[in-house]
Structure 1
Amino acid sequence: MQAFRTAVERHDLDALETLLAEDVVFTSPVVFKPYRGKAITAAIVRGAARVFEDFRYRRVIGAADGRDHALLFTARVGDREISGCDFLHLDESGRIDELTVMVRPLSGAQALQAAMAAQFERIAQEAQEAAARSGA
């Protein structure tokens, strides 16, 4: 999905948020339970943008007009190199209703988990503020 890729690469997180369905489900590589809803998903993506360094998409898999896409990326978290994939599913209106992230190796996933945990108070606050603004 080119719009998602462009928004991430340009750090245009407001544009990225407009691509999310209200009922989007975000599945994280470092927690068991999925997160549900646009406000928390957008806040998590903002947190990840603060954590990842040298983030680059390397390849996109999926038909341009399809509803399923895989975007392979590389990044760093601190001194750990990460390879990963964003799996996107689009609803009938073209909004992202599922966003699943997978990363490797284990040491990179552990570094990501620690870095995101350090962000989580801010992420929760951003999600709460966004939900209040939208009336959710």
Structure 2
Amino acid sequence: MRAFREAVEAHDLDAVEALLADDVVFSSPVVFKPYRGRAVTAAILRAVERVFEDFRYERAIGEADGRDHALLFTARVGDREIGGCDVLRLDASGRIAELTVMVRPLSGAQALQAAMAEQFERIAREAEAAGARSDD
């Protein structure tokens, strides 16, 4: 999905959030249970931007007008190099309904898990604040 890729590459997390369906399902590479909802998914993606260094998309897979897309990326967490893939599924209105992230190698996933665990309280606060704003 070109709009998602361009927003991520521009570090425009507000634009990324606008592309998410209200009931988006985010599947993390380091947590078994998926997260549901725009507020928590956006908060997680903001944390990922704080954690990843030297992030870049290398390749996109999928038809431009299709509902399924894969964006292959590389990044670094601390001294660990990571290869990964964002798998996106769009709903009928073109918003991201599902976002699944996969990473490798195991040492990179472990570094990512540790770094994201340090972000957990901030993610929860941001998601709660965003949820409160959307209820107004």
- TM-score w.r.t. the length of structure 1 is 0.99
Matches within 5 A, 1:102-113: 102-113=102-113
**Structure 2: any 5+ residue segments left out of the alignment?**
none
Identity %: 79
User: What displacement does 1:121 show?
Assistant: 0.3
1:1-48 deviation digits (Å, cap 9, x = unpaired): 010000101100000000000000000000010000000000000000
Secondary structure class of the residue paired with 1:81: strand
Matches within 5 A, 1:119-130: 119-130=119-130
User: What displacement does 1:90 show?
Assistant: 0.2
**Structure 1: any 5+ residue segments left out of the alignment?**
none
Give 4+ residue runs of structure 1 displaced > 6 Å after superposition. Answer: none
User: What displacement does 1:60 show?
Assistant: 0.1
Q: Answer yes or no: is 1:91 the counterpart of 2:91.
A: yes
User: What displacement does 1:81 show?
Assistant: 0.0
Query: C-alpha separation between the residues in 1 aligned to 2:27 and 2:129?
Result: 21
Secondary structure class of the residue paired with 1:134: helix
Matches within 5 A, 1:5-16: 5-16=5-16
1:93-125 deviation digits (Å, cap 9, x = unpaired): 000000000000000000000000000100000
Query: C-alpha separation between the residues in 2 aligned to 1:133 and 1:59?
Result: 35
Matched letter for residue 43 of structure 2: A
The corresponding residue for 1:65 is: 65
Q: For this pair of structures, how many residues does the alignment match?
A: 136
Q: Answer yes or no: is 1:114 the counterpart of 2:114.
A: yes
Query: C-alpha separation between the residues in 1 aligned to 2:72 and 2:58?
Result: 6
1:29-81 deviation digits (Å, cap 9, x = unpaired): 00010000000000000000000000000000000000000000000000000
Q: Answer yes or no: is 1:40 the counterpart of 2:47.
A: no
